[in-house]
Structure 1
Amino acid sequence: MSDEREKGLAGRVRERRVTLWTLIVPPTVWAVHFMFCYLWVAVSCAKLASFARFPVAFAAGTLVALAIIVASGVVAFLQSRTPGDPPPHDESTGVDRTRFLATATLLLAGLSVVGVLFTAAPALMLTDCR
C-alpha cells in the first residue's frame, strides 16, 4: 500500500505544472536567509556588544531555509525524471519545458543549499563583532 502511495505522490508531483515561480523559490529563500543572518548579527552586536554564538533563532532560521530549499529540490528532482526523450530538452513540447525548468530548479536548489550553509558557517566560527 505504501509503495502505491509513493508512486501516486511521485506521479502527482510530476504532473504539477512547473513555472518560473518554482524556479525562483530556492534563490529567494537563500536571499531571505542571508538578510535574516545579516540582521541577526547586526542586532546582536549592537544590543549585546558581542556576537551571539549560534543562537536558537539563528539555527531555526537556517533549518527552515534548508528544509524549504530541499523540498523544492525534491519536487524538481521528481519533475525532471518525467518519462520522455533523453536530454537535451530543447524541443518545444510541454514535457521538455517541464524537464528543463525542473532541472534548472534542481541546480539552483543545490547552489542555494551551499549558499545557506556558507552564510551560516561564520556563526560557528566567529566570536567577536570586531
Structure 2
Amino acid sequence: MMSGIHERVRSLTVTLWTLIVPPTTWAAHFLFSYLWAAVRCAKLGSFATEPGLFWGGTAVAVAVILAAGWMAWVQSRTPGSHPPHEEGTEVDRLRFLAYSTLLLAGLSLIGVAFTAMPVLFITDCR
C-alpha cells in the first residue's frame, strides 16, 4: 500500500505552484490567526477561552504543510545523480524544486508554530 502511494506521488510533477503551497499556507494561517484574535478580543476581551476554531485552523495548516513536505521529500528521493543538481535535465529540475519545497515546508511549519504560540501563553488582549 505504502509503495503504491510513493509511486503515485513520485509520478506527480513538482512545479513552482507546488513550491508556493507551504509559504502560502503559512501566510493564510497568519492572517487567520490575527483575524481570529481580533474578533475574539473585540467580542470577549480574551482570545484564549475556548480556542477550538483556532486549533482546528492550525491543524489544517499543519496538515497541508506536512502533506506538501512529504510529497517533496518523496520526489527529492527520485533516483538520479548526486547533488548538486545543476544539470539541465528534467530529473535535476524535479529534485531541485522538490528539495526547495521541502525546505520551505520546514520553514513554514516553524512559522505556523510560532504564530500559534501566543494562544498558549497569552490569555488576555491587553
TM-score (norm 1): 0.93
- Please give the residue correspondences for 1:96-111 in structure 2 after superposition, counting only pairs within 5 Å: 96-111=92-107
1:48 is displaced (CA, Å) by: 1.0
Kept after mapping to 1: 8 A contact 2:48/2:122: no
**Cα distance in 2 between the residues matched to 1:54 and 1:111:** 28
| Post-superposition CA distance 1:13-47 (Å, at most 9, x none) | 11211111110000000000000000010011111
Residues 1:70 and 2:66 are matched in the alignment:
yes
TM-score (norm 2): 0.96
1:54 is displaced (CA, Å) by: 5.6
In structure 1, the residue matched to 2:87 is 91
Cα RMSD after superposing both structures: 1.0
1:12 is displaced (CA, Å) by: 2.0
Structure 1 unpaired stretches of 5+: none
**Cα distance in 2 between the residues matched to 1:54 and 1:110:** 28
Give the 3-state SS of the residue equivalent to 2:20 in structure 1.
Answer: helix
In structure 2, the residue matched to 1:119 is 115
Give the 3-state SS of the residue equivalent to 1:120 in structure 2.
Answer: helix
**Cα distance in 1 between the residues matched to 2:50 and 2:86:** 45
Structure 2 unpaired stretches of 5+: none
| Post-superposition CA distance 1:63-119 (Å, at most 9, x none) | 010000000000000000000000000100000000000000000000000000000
1:50 is displaced (CA, Å) by: 2.1
Identity score, percent? 63
**Cα distance in 1 between the residues matched to 2:63 and 2:5:** 19
Assess, with a 3 A threshold, how the Cα gap between structure 1 residues 54 and 123 changes in structure 2: closer, same or farther: farther
**Cα distance in 2 between the residues matched to 1:113 and 1:25:** 12
